[in-house]
Amino acid sequence: MQDDAPTAGASDPRRAAEKAARASYGRLVAYLSARSRDVAGAEDALADAFRAALETWPVRGVPERPEAWLLTVARRGLIDAARRATTRSDSAAMLVQAAEEAEESRMQTGTDDFPDERLKLLFVCAHPAIDPAARTPLMLQTVLGLDAARIAAAFLTSPAAMGQRLVRAKARIRDAGLRFEVPERPDWQDRLAAVLEAVYAAYGAGWEDVTGTDPHRAGLAGEAIDLARLLTALVPEEPEALGLLALLLHCEARRPARRGVDGAFVALAEQDTALWLVPLQREAEEALRRAARMGRIGRFQMEAAIQSVHALRGRSGRTEWAAVAMLHDALAGLSPTVGVLVSRAAAHAEVHGALAGLDLLDALPADAVKSYQPYWALRAHLLTRSGDAAAARQAYGLAIGLSEDPAVRDFLRRRMPQ
């Protein structure tokens, strides 16, 4: 279709713009930001380009390459804005040069393709100069295009506070002149670890919306998985990126089984494995195998391996708890977080009995677990198994009080001994 050809129907231009936004928003923002070092400016220019598309395409037709059209319009907007701001003449010069180079490339090759700079964008979002609390939201907004209100709801803060956090982070990138580049070693691993943690945190925010009914969190887990897939494509030689993808896919595969038909919470050991999503499990296993062949073990690979053992129950009908406990021991050596140590206690209780699990829980620092709901839920369960009903009721009370999900509270109340 030529740029000035009419569209097939009145709704085509909007659908084309929506498709371009879903498929290429992150690539467009990354390309523009990498050259201007102004994320907010790039987003504004791209927003103007989309508005221009909705005004122009219904009249002149959807261009043959919508993303290239959007990039050209947004780039011109950035150049005009930079030329108007005398303090930004350096950015203007870079953009003019980029525009000329891109035009020359199109003339020589006959293509409107542009490089994928999203890895650079992810790394600058994880720069040490950026507030750690802003890194995950910044990636969600710049790479996936989520709005501040939705991100705020997912992270349990106000839209105004989240908006200010994002504005400050983008201003920091611009004012500090942070370079959009893939870092050299030894900075690579620290920055990559921050990116992986951000994707993991994004998935965790969406994981809580089990039924997918929260409009602010709907799809957030899937978008985090998209980010994880993107990372494995951008850094295919990094086993921890593959490990993270495998971990998220194994968790997501169990989503349909986490609630009963009445919405009741269903514990992992009681889930109907027939409801688990086998294609996601297969994708997870392939990612884990690719990571294992690289011979560099890490936390996310180990966590994915634990979930892989749980997934085997779908075929064997039983959980190999000895393997789960062994993997938790290894994981505790790599990443002795409170969550890992509590899960390790649960695994050892399945292998060695409730008292062994309680001993491991007792060894944890009181300050670290006093407000950690999974600790009290597991402690209550193990106390019930050991026959200490009074102590179990007290622990259940604390676990219920720390639970935000009504379905989890109901689950715990049903388990509490009378």
Share of the chain above pLDDT 90, in %: 47
Residue type, 261: V
Q: Which of 125, 152, 104 is nearest to 33 (CA)?
A: 125
Total residues belonging to the chain: 418
CA distances from residue 400 to 162, 366, 405, 413 in whole angstroms, order as listed: 29, 18, 9, 7
Q: How far apart are CA 91 and CA 38, in angstroms?
A: 9
Q: How far apart are CA 359 and CA 151, in angstroms?
A: 40
Mean residue pLDDT of the chain comes to 85
Burial zone of 4 (CB within 10 Å; 0-12 exposed, 13-18 middle, 19+ buried): exposed
Lowest-confidence segment of 119-128, 180-189, 289-298 by average pLDDT: 180-189
What are 107's two structure tokens? 């003339």
What count of Cα atoms within 13 Å lies in the side-chain half-sphere of residue 329?
A: 9
Tens digits of residue pLDDT in 100-155: 455 444 433 344 456 778 888 888 888 889 998 888 889 888 887 777 887 887 77
Q: Which of 409, 410, 411, 393 is nearest to 401 (CA)?
A: 409
Eight-state DSSP code of residue 215: T
CA distances from residue 68 to 25, 49, 74, 276 in whole angstroms, order as listed: 12, 11, 10, 40
More confident of the two residues 30 and 320 = 320
Per-domain residue ranges of the chain: 12-116, 117-209, 236-314
Residue 198 has pLDDT above 90, yes or no: no
Q: What are phi and psi of 265, to 5 degrees?
A: -65, 140
CA 149: distance to chain centroid? 17
Q: How much is the CA Rg of the chain, to the nearest whole Å?
A: 25
